[in-house]
Amino acid sequence: MQVIKKQLQFTAVLVAVILFISSCSTVKKLPATVAGASRAKFVGTWTLTRVSYDGLIPGAVQSFFDQGAPENLNGSIWKLTNSGNGSYTSVNGSAQSIFWSYNNSNGAVFQFKKLYQGDSARKVQEGYQLIVASIDDTQMVLKSPVALGDKTAYVILSFNKTQ
């Protein structure tokens, strides 16, 4: 009887842990794969040429990457090195250092952390994840999920590779 009771307790704890872990997901739905995507495809200099929306009206998002409206990044230059270091520079000249990576373990995701003077990428715990909608040698489209009630809308960033 004691063995059965311990097995039931263990099973209950295991189920509770599994439910807790599965409820902590930040991105609910990711594409299965993106054809041709690899870390090497991201390396280079990219220009953000267009900001668009799926499920949102323009102007609905006022803070994007904690830097104002998404449209403020139009024309920004993103430099991504193979080491993971990078930066983006807005058209007004303000620059932001980042550390980026590509994760395809649960769909294709481009992720980055903002780095400030003296920061170590390992110590920075917060960052941004963007779904890779498409990427090839000349163009890239990233989608940033935005919770909208019980649905997910997207800010869509379209880039052209310049180098």
For 35, the 3-state DSSP assignment is coil
Is the CB of residue 155 less than 8 Å from the CB of residue 51? Answer: yes
**Segment 112-124, tens digit of pLDDT:** 999 999 888 889 9
Given this model, what pLDDT does residue 134 score?
A: 97
The whole-model pTM stands at: 0.76
Does domain 33-161 bear CATH number 2.40.30.10? no
Strands 128-135 and 95-103 come out as unpaired
Token pair belonging to 26: 């930040």
Mean pLDDT of the chain: 82
Q: What is the pLDDT of residues 11-40, one digit of tens each?
A: 333 333 232 222 223 333 333 345 556 889
CB 84, CB 8: distance < 8 Å: no
